Amino acid sequence: MNISRRKIIGLAGAALLLSGIIASCAKEGKTGKNDAYITYFQSWMKVHHPEAAPTGLGIYIMDDKPGTGAAISDKDKYILVRYTTRDLDGKVNGTTEESIAKQTGSYSVANYYGDDIIMNDPDQTSAGIIEMLKGMKVGGTRKAIIPGWLNVAEKYDTAEDYLKKCTGTEMVCDLTVSGTYEDIYKWEIDTLERFVARHMAGIDSTYFGYYYKQTKAPIDTVSIPKDSTFCINYTGRLMNGKVFDTTIKDTAKVWGIYSSTKEYKPVYIKKNEDFTQISMASSNGSDGSTVVNGFSYCMSNLKKFEKGVVAFYSVHGYGAKGSGSAIPKYAPISFEIEVVADPDK
């Protein structure tokens, strides 16, 4: 699992560094994988941080500002963090911080910056990060140097096992704990309900994790027939209001996501008997790209020229992976949707 989907250039490299995706482990073998590299790393530490002492597993905590919130426990399966990673030369490789991305000249208004969600599990998150989290409390910040052999999402019993069996890319990580959760989906639902209370007049969900509010009545009460094509305009947002996609040019420009290569106009929706098979279609009605289930379920219930707001949690959306650099993992999202006339007729 990626520790983050954000990177200051494309928002993918930090995930590689922190999750250990680019690392490798040998399950067997008498020769240590780091026999040559360890000499370089230890020499670098002696030159730059001669007084530093490793933790039991072998990372080096260089700065520690304790938090005032609850301590991380084994029950906390999901940890909300903010971070910045650098190589040993100080070059920033990845960050969740907008201000740092701007300082490095790699900021993109289309990217999401903010809390990232990692799993408190050495099979999912790099061993170095798990070691870094030990003893931290919510609100706390640590800076640590993590050698490459610990920047792997693998579970071994001892530091010697990692040293002999694993290789990866070393990094310097500044990490702040924003929150801890035993159930990430409860956190999503709580977030959705606050959003619904503010923006959707506190309506109830029609099924778990899904909310819809009609903002303009349709011209009749007859549902759009199955196996037909109709047009919509839409604007997709995160819970903080940030727009990540839209069919409306002015909205795209206001939110800084306008692209001259994209045609801003209503899109065609191809209905299907099974709402999970609904797709965005071409003007001639041929099948196009599929959409997430929360969006397609909304499409299955719309009527002619209806307008509304739909919001749903990540199980109906982009799940544990998110989407690109704009939608983080485990993100509840919302769409403003309006059925409109076919612009090509």
Cα(129)–Cα(76) distance, rounded to whole angstroms? 15
> pLDDT tens string for the chain (345 positions)?
233 323 333 333 444 445 544 456 654 444 567 888 888 999 999 999 999 999 999 999 999 999 999 999 999 999 999 999 999 999 999 999 999 999 999 999 999 999 999 999 999 999 999 999 999 999 999 999 999 999 999 999 999 999 999 999 999 999 999 999 999 999 999 999 999 999 999 899 999 999 999 999 999 888 899 888 999 999 999 999 999 999 999 999 999 999 999 999 999 999 988 999 899 875 544 456 889 999 999 999 999 999 999 999 999 999 999 999 999 999 999 999 999 999 887
Report the relative pairing of strands 267-270 and 243-246 from DSSP bridges.
unpaired
Residues 6+ apart with CB under 8 A from 131: 55, 56, 57, 58, 59, 150
Query: Do the domains at 13-182 and 185-340 have one common CATH topology?
Result: yes
Q: Residue 298: which region, alpha, beta or left (left: phi > 0; alpha: psi -120 to 50)?
A: alpha
How far apart are the C-alpha atoms of 88 and 39, rounded to whole Å?
A: 15
For the chain, give the longest Cα–Cα distance: 76
Give the list of residues 6+ apart from residue 59 with CB closer than 8 angstroms, or none: 128, 131, 132, 144, 145, 146, 147, 150
The domain over range 185-340 is classified in CATH as 3.10.50.40: yes
**Domain range annotation of the chain:** 13-182, 185-340
305: nearest Cα among 269, 339, 271, 345: 339
Q: What's domain 13-182's architecture?
A: Roll (3.10)
pLDDT in tens, 220-249: 888 899 888 999 999 999 999 999 999 999
Question: What is the residue type of 69?
Answer: G
Cα 17 from Cα 152, distance rounded (Å): 9
Q: What are 205's two structure tokens?
A: 């969900």
pTM: 0.86
